[in-house]
Structure 1
Amino acid sequence: MTNLDVKTETEDSGPSGYAAARLRLLTEKARPGPPRRTALARLTDDWLAGLHRAAGAPPGTALVAVGGYGRGELSPRSDLDLLLLHDGTADARTIAALADRLWYPIWDLGLALDHSVRTPAEARRTAGEDLKVQLGLLDARPVAGDTALATALRTAVLADWRNQAPRRLPELDALCRERAERSGELQYLLEPDLKEARGGLRDAQALRAVAASWLADAPREGLDDARRRLLDARDALHLATGRATDRLALQEQDAVAAGLGLLDADTLLREVYEAARTVSYASDVTWREVGRVLKARSARPRLRGLLGGRGSGGKPPVERTPLAEGVVEMDGEAVLALSARPERDPVLPLRAAAAAAQAGLPLSLHAVRRLAATAKPLPAPWPAEAREALVTLLGAGEATVPVWEALEAEGLVTRLLPDWERVRCRPQRNPVHTWTVDRHLVETAVRAASLTRRVHRPDLLLVAALLHDIGKGWPGDHSVAGETIARDLATRIGFDRADVTVIATVVRHHLLLVETATRRDLDDPATVRTVAAAVGTLGALELLHALTEADALATGPAAWSSWRASLVADLVARVAGVLAGEEPPDPEAAAPSAEQERIAIEALRTGEPVLALHAHEPAAPDSDEPEPVGVELLVALPERPGVLPAVAGVLALHRLTVRAAELRAVALPTELGRGPVLVLDWRVAAEYGSLPEAHRLRADLVRALDGSLDIPARLAERDTSYPRRRGVPAPPPRVTVAPAASRHATVIEVRAQDAPGLLHRIGRALEGADVRVRSAHVSTLGANAVDTLYVTRPDGLPLSDDEATDVAKVVEGALG
């Protein structure tokens, strides 16, 4: 097999000539993608054929390419998968010498080689024992030597595969599932494995193997293009890294995108996700068909016995169970009834989807394609039946996901909701997020479905959940853009003006509760009044509370906890009181707790710090086991400078994560001593392991306050070993002043990369700026920390605008 395009490059058939020609081919700009892979395979064929001739191969031997090389799909750093096939007539020593003369030149060039030496009988026997070997042999292709010997082996292996399909295909399905469990779903991963992850190249190969069995076939539309795009991305990744890697790491994505001529890394990920989604959907459909065929085959002997060959000739009757108007269940799928007329029934796509999801059935490929091809568009606004069908679909819980994916695969979702196109396959460059934007919206609706009994308007909750991040496809604040889009879509869906306003409000403020609860002082009346003014009504507050939980649960495990849930519930209760006409209490009038007063008295009596630890373990939602929310740490000591950075530094040294901190001066009766005592109420949790003992914390705090414990130096040592992601520089810290957030203090918000001692460094900067910290509220998601501090002048008054701006600059400079 000679490639005329590269013949002039291979006149020197030795290793150096092949290496030079290979290098020229890989650096060419005019021949990327399939042409380059084919040319590289043919160039390699020519070189290996020359090696085979030069080695003096005896008759009855053949060099056979298998796997990806057999398919002619060589990427720049692909392994060479080779089988030296012989008919057994030559003695073992001759075959071994031939193998050495073939393998060693390949190794000398530094090429990865997966090799074996077998007779046809040995190859078939090994394939029967090892599924991966059999899959590789399905693509066997002769490179040199006895072509008839290689062709006969491939014919025999294909026959074996088809005969063994009822046993082998379930094994292959299990292998694909195990690999997906291990490597994740390519279409949602920030750093996907293009080969091993679900929807990747291994799954595309599995679909080819299913088709070769003649038992079932994959949907062909778009599959070849999807496979090509994944291979192109792998080629560019190999060239960008110079390594045989299939993992598309963050630090390589810009270079890979440039190598493919794409705009940026996000464009690259969207293309990869689209391709993976096509492969995943084709896999779902194909494996369902395999299961159906195998089930039908296993039932035939029993049916023949029951029917005795009479009536229908032994064929089982086709059962159709009605699900909805125009929709029936048949053979484990929701299909269109024989009487269905999509061209006359614009609601049928949503009705069929809702019926399938409610019944927990997949929507058949034939039905979805017929609906996509012939269904009449819905009028705007939608009729009530269409709106109710959408709500029913969203309220089906987990069963919604595969039905929604089927609609998306055939373009029906973007036809129903045109703005969906901007969020489709859009990556979220935040490791806290598990899903792409579009799948996150569906997952949020799934989570919201379990919360519908907590609200008076489940329909508004489900639609708001589906639309809450719809603005992420637009520039600027996605909540602001989302409000406008949600208003338009809710109107299109057919909600009345009042309901449209509620949906738009909930979408606009879907982050308000969790951000306020974790970053603001809930005892400050201004905090509660601000949220009440934004939400407006008790009904909207109820929906927003449920959406906040559903959104966080659908984001990922780091986004929700019992601690966050308790803070949000506390805020909701306070806001509900204001919306009902109550006045929030003034924090200045609140008396210290009995425990705070006790340790304050002890600190004033001894003149030393006093510490008390109290565990809080409320039951986690929907769980029989308690989930630790954190530990309350009370610290009291006579008021003095440097307390906040000292305590924060000691906690960091002991690997305690700070979730919230409140500082207050407690005025004690004059007969007890020298004046006010500073009481710090912290909520902390251990990064790992058990909590340190209180006496150890106190001893280090005393040393920090008297200067004998150099906290900055100790934290600097820790900081050098703190894990950072290679090639992904952290954005610079940002410090801002929140205007009108409190009447009692100035609110400063710090956004920075989370690291040990961050609050300690902030506290030192504030001490240096001569301001007093009333409270601190810490929120951490992944590697990002948001610390909100309520500060005053030493006299207890809020800072002026100029003073606040100067303090923000000081803190930002200290963190930079």
Structure 2
Amino acid sequence: MTSTDMRNDAEDSGPSGYAAARLRLLTEEARSGPPRRAALSRLTDEWLTGLFTAGAEDLRGVSLVAVGGYGRGELSPRSDLDLLLLHDGGDGKAVAALADRLWYPVWDLGLALDHSVRTPAEARRTASEDLKVQLGLLDARHLAGDLGLTSALRTTVLADWRNQAPKRLPELQELCAERAERQGELQYLLEPDLKEARGGLRDATALRAVAASWVADAPREGLDDARRRLLDVRDALHLATGRATDRLALQEQDQVAAELGLLDADTLLRQVYEAARVVSYASDVTWREVGRVLRSRAVRPRLRAMLGGGKPVAERSPLAEGVVEQDGEVVLARAARPERDPVLPLRAAAAAAQAGLPLSLHAVRRLAATVRPLPTPWPAEAREQLVTLLGSGPPTIEVWEALEAEGLITRLLPDWERVRCRPQRNAVHIWTVDRHLIETAVRASEFTRRVSRPDLLLVAALLHDIGKGWPGDHSVAGEIIVKDVAARIGFDRADVTVLSTLVRHHLLLVETATRRDLEDPATVRSVAEAVGSQSTLELLHALTEADALATGPAAWSTWRASLVTDLVKRVAAVLAGDEPDEPATAAATAEQERLAIEAVATGSPVLALRAQTEPPADDTEQPPGDPEPLGVELLIAVPDREGVLPAVAGVLAVHRLTVRTAELRALDLPDGVEGSVLLLNWRVAAEYGSLPQAARLRADLVRALDGTLDIAGRLAERDAAYPRRRGVIAPPPRVTVAPAASRHATVIEVRAQDAPGLLFRIGTALDDAGVRVRSMHVSTLGANAVDAFYVTGSDGSPLPGEEATTVARKLEETLRA
């Protein structure tokens, strides 16, 4: 159906005709994107014009004006209609009747309406008081009635905006900053708000307003395409959900991707992130220019008076060969020749980061347009400038983003393209892959005094996840990529080997420390064999901490740091030639020994609760007052017997306690004390409400161990009464046997979505399989449970291979059920 047909339907049938024409337009597969938005705006214009003119005898002194998104012609399927009924203050009753004739049909169709009725003076006064109203009026578009009235208002509003720019633009910038603080960065969020998040449609509109002020203009290259892409995604989101929403929720991303003809949700998010990155970078450049212009306007009259008239010459301070500072930005020197100096982009970037200054847009674009590629391998200066850039701390981020916005990063490092804007569907990660790599380098710059080769640490930080986006294990893929990249950058063969080892094993220390028994010599020896040398271990330790700190708050803690440090000390001893002793059972601290003796004497479990706090992981100064508790340490000593793990885990689940970390191990008792005791060291927190008393936990644990407390029944009743809402469909659990992880036990690894009672189900399944848990290491990372269980048969020996596989398979089937 053509636009003319739809217009005729709307005119012939009134609101019902408009509704039918609108529905046909939205369901036309051949029409989408800007053409559909334009057609929807035209159709709506014609319908509203018909409503406005119906029965009207005199249209002078009153007009209908579209403002905001409707004024820009950006109607999405569920967009609000932003309308202003403008009048000259004449017949109030006639204006009110006209307003009713306009608004009620819109409401009757269920369309959202943002409306106002004002005189030009009232509109102007409201705009001066409310910045959002003024921004909407900047996009005012005449629909019907007195064109002169609308034109006069547009002229007045634009003149006010330009005259008041020194005051209003800082207000607009602050408004954008406050919104970004609330909504976050669109280019990194897994469930972004396409409109309100930084880099979204609101910011794109703000850039239009800045341009209208004539103070500064945004970098236009790619900006219109970015805005169009975000609008296209919002259109598809409205059609997929049938709601007026701007939040791209996880459960709707596949449907939105299909609506847009994209491969999958990751492809959709990458396109959204790329668009948001263009808008964010344009915003940074524009607001910087606004600040520079407004400062110069304030300073210039005084300078001219001092200099006796004439235009003052901006000072240029040299920073490096071919690089100078001017007006608070890093620009190219007049004598710079990018076409003859392939190292200049890295030299300028390093100088800017070291000075804590932004690279000017003009300089970056000139470099992108004229610089020659670096030879292979890179000259030593280029490698040194890259290391200097990476070691500059937080300023590195803004400089790197400037280079990336103009395509210089992928020209220097072609493999960067695969990780650029790549989402990470893991609640622990707060950044896209590429931003995480830069954040890791920034964190690693804090540790350069701890290592003998800071250059290798910084480059490894930049490249440790470069294998993401390739099939298979990203550490294995990354090892292959880094060998090529490091050689191209100009590292010698020995350094290439170290870098590839760091990338291949960048998860080794934290995974081993949190999921393996460090008292087992096989654990320490395996790490020592993988690392190979003291110097590589030193680098890997620093990289591990930088990687975790750059991942997000859930990835690092004092507890994890202490475990990794303990492992590093043990591995360093092995690399120095000291073989670890074969352990029996772990020695107990004084408190643990007291609990164990009491448990043996009473023949029943003994509990101790202790509040836990942690200092900031980066050793920053603690704020005044008491530190916030991060949970409770729960120590339980229980006479060794079957069923201890499911009993304890079940009692904690019944009491709605979330297990953050957990360990189980056997204790050596003092001479003269007979018996065998299991010590369980848990860190728990209340799911909600307050923590239960230790006496209640102990009483329920006694009942669970003697079989009088039906834990499975209690949990089933609670789940039936309070079913958990299911949003995102989690990947299925995975249970594997770690080969050669220990000579004393079989290590079974569990990866699953965390849920109440998960550890109880695992413990019950292991008990049912007839195996004994010798020790365990349990941790929760975001919504993911990452657990390792050291199990033996009834004779205390590791399980035969086939039996171990059977136990793992049955446990996985239990968790999938």
TM-score of the aligned structures, taking structure 1 as reference length: 0.96
Q: Deviation per CA, 1:418-443, whole angstroms, max 9, x where unpaired?
A: 00001111111112111111111011
Matched, 1:32 2:32: yes
Matched, 1:573 2:572: no
Query: 2:766, 2:811 within 8 Å by CA — same for their partners in 1?
Result: yes
Q: List aligned pairs for 1:476-625, cutoff 5 A.
A: 476-588=472-584, 591-613=587-609, 619-621=615-617, 622-625=619-622
Query: 1:630, 1:683 within 8 Å by CA — same for their partners in 2?
Result: no
Compared CA separation, residues 22 and 200, structure 1 to 2 (3 A): same
Query: 2:397, 2:438 within 8 Å by CA — same for their partners in 1?
Result: yes
Query: 1:630, 1:685 within 8 Å by CA — same for their partners in 2?
Result: yes
Matched, 1:396 2:384: no
Cα distance in structure 1, aligned partners of 2:603 and 2:548: 45
Matched, 1:78 2:79: yes
Q: CA deviation at 1:496?
A: 0.8
Query: 1:186, 1:273 within 8 Å by CA — same for their partners in 2?
Result: yes
Compared CA separation, residues 656 and 104, structure 1 to 2 (3 A): closer
Query: 2:658, 2:756 within 8 Å by CA — same for their partners in 1?
Result: no
Cα distance in structure 1, aligned partners of 2:42 and 2:315: 53
Amino acid at match of 2:113: L
Q: List aligned pairs for 1:377-776, cutoff 5 A.
A: 377-588=373-584, 591-613=587-609, 619-621=615-617, 622-625=619-622, 633-654=634-655, 655-664=657-666, 666=668, 676-687=675-686, 692-719=692-719, 726-776=726-776
Amino acid at match of 2:40: L
Q: CA deviation at 1:721?
A: 7.6
Compared CA separation, residues 802 and 21, structure 1 to 2 (3 A): same
Cα distance in structure 2, aligned partners of 1:722 and 1:778: 26
Q: CA deviation at 1:446?
A: 0.7
Compared CA separation, residues 669 and 359, structure 1 to 2 (3 A): closer
Counterpart in 2 of 1:130? 130
Query: 2:660, 2:780 within 8 Å by CA — same for their partners in 1?
Result: no
Counterpart in 1 of 2:218? 218
Q: Deviation per CA, 1:349-406, whole angstroms, max 9, x where unpaired?
A: 0000000000000000000000000001100110010000000100111000110000
Q: Deviation per CA, 1:142-184, whole angstroms, max 9, x where unpaired?
A: 1111112111111111111111111111111111111111111
Q: Deviation per CA, 1:695-742, whole angstroms, max 9, x where unpaired?
A: 332212111112222222233345458886644112222111111110
Q: CA deviation at 1:121?
A: 1.2
Q: CA deviation at 1:634?
A: 3.8
Compared CA separation, residues 729 and 306, structure 1 to 2 (3 A): same
Cα distance in structure 2, aligned partners of 1:261 and 1:618: 48
Cα distance in structure 2, aligned partners of 1:438 and 1:322: 31
Secondary structure of the residue aligned to 2:560 is helix
Query: 2:187, 2:421 within 8 Å by CA — same for their partners in 1?
Result: yes
Query: 1:722, 1:755 within 8 Å by CA — same for their partners in 2?
Result: no
Query: 2:11, 2:50 within 8 Å by CA — same for their partners in 1?
Result: no
Counterpart in 2 of 1:295? 295
Compared CA separation, residues 301 and 747, structure 1 to 2 (3 A): same
Secondary structure of the residue aligned to 1:12 is helix
Counterpart in 1 of 2:103? 103
Of 48-57 and 259-268, deviating more is 48-57
Cα distance in structure 2, aligned partners of 1:426 and 1:564: 27
Matched, 1:199 2:199: yes
Q: CA deviation at 1:60?
A: 1.2
Match for residue 343 of structure 2 among 329, 339, 347: 347
Secondary structure of the residue aligned to 1:797 is coil
Amino acid at match of 1:79: D
Secondary structure of the residue aligned to 2:76 is coil
Amino acid at match of 1:676: G
Q: Figure out how many residues of one structure are paired with residues of the other and give that number.
A: 807
Q: List aligned pairs for 1:262-341, cutoff 5 A.
A: 262-309=262-309, 313=310, 315-341=311-337
Cα distance in structure 2, aligned partners of 1:768 and 1:540: 44
Compared CA separation, residues 374 and 21, structure 1 to 2 (3 A): same
Compared CA separation, residues 13 and 134, structure 1 to 2 (3 A): farther
Secondary structure of the residue aligned to 2:12 is coil
Cα distance in structure 1, aligned partners of 2:409 and 2:660: 44
Counterpart in 2 of 1:364? 360
Compared CA separation, residues 735 and 109, structure 1 to 2 (3 A): same
Amino acid at match of 2:704: A
Cα distance in structure 2, aligned partners of 1:395 and 1:148: 61
Compared CA separation, residues 679 and 596, structure 1 to 2 (3 A): farther
Cα distance in structure 1, aligned partners of 2:292 and 2:589: 67
Cα distance in structure 2, aligned partners of 1:724 and 1:442: 38
Cα distance in structure 2, aligned partners of 1:420 and 1:725: 39
Cα distance in structure 2, aligned partners of 1:185 and 1:656: 30
Query: 1:6, 1:39 within 8 Å by CA — same for their partners in 2?
Result: no
Query: 2:664, 2:776 within 8 Å by CA — same for their partners in 1?
Result: yes
Q: Deviation per CA, 1:279-332, whole angstroms, max 9, x where unpaired?
A: 1111111111110100000012222332233xxx2x222200000000000000
Cα distance in structure 2, aligned partners of 1:374 and 1:32: 38
Cα distance in structure 2, aligned partners of 1:93 and 1:712: 71
Cα distance in structure 1, aligned partners of 2:468 and 2:355: 32
Compared CA separation, residues 718 and 569, structure 1 to 2 (3 A): farther
Secondary structure of the residue aligned to 1:77 is coil
Of 549-558 and 297-306, deviating more is 297-306
Of 596-605 and 405-414, deviating more is 596-605
Secondary structure of the residue aligned to 2:116 is strand
Matched residues, percent identical? 78
Q: CA deviation at 1:449?
A: 0.7
Query: 2:444, 2:457 within 8 Å by CA — same for their partners in 1?
Result: yes
Compared CA separation, residues 624 and 198, structure 1 to 2 (3 A): closer
Counterpart in 1 of 2:64? 63
Over aligned residues, Cα RMSD in angstroms? 2.0
Cα distance in structure 1, aligned partners of 2:723 and 2:200: 30
Compared CA separation, residues 44 and 583, structure 1 to 2 (3 A): same
Cα distance in structure 2, aligned partners of 1:497 and 1:531: 23
Amino acid at match of 1:301: P
Cα distance in structure 2, aligned partners of 1:519 and 1:628: 24
Question: Which runs of no fewer than 5 residues in structure 1 stay unpaired?
Answer: none
Query: 2:596, 2:669 within 8 Å by CA — same for their partners in 1?
Result: no
Amino acid at match of 2:548: A
Query: 1:532, 1:575 within 8 Å by CA — same for their partners in 2?
Result: yes
Cα distance in structure 2, aligned partners of 1:3 and 1:163: 41
Q: CA deviation at 1:665?
A: 6.0
Query: 1:770, 1:793 within 8 Å by CA — same for their partners in 2?
Result: yes
Query: 2:653, 2:757 within 8 Å by CA — same for their partners in 1?
Result: yes
Query: 1:233, 1:256 within 8 Å by CA — same for their partners in 2?
Result: yes
Compared CA separation, residues 255 and 146, structure 1 to 2 (3 A): same
Cα distance in structure 1, aligned partners of 2:707 and 2:785: 28
Compared CA separation, residues 67 and 721, structure 1 to 2 (3 A): farther
Compared CA separation, residues 285 and 725, structure 1 to 2 (3 A): farther
Cα distance in structure 2, aligned partners of 1:548 and 1:743: 27
Amino acid at match of 1:226: A
Cα distance in structure 2, aligned partners of 1:321 and 1:619: 42
Q: CA deviation at 1:762?
A: 1.0
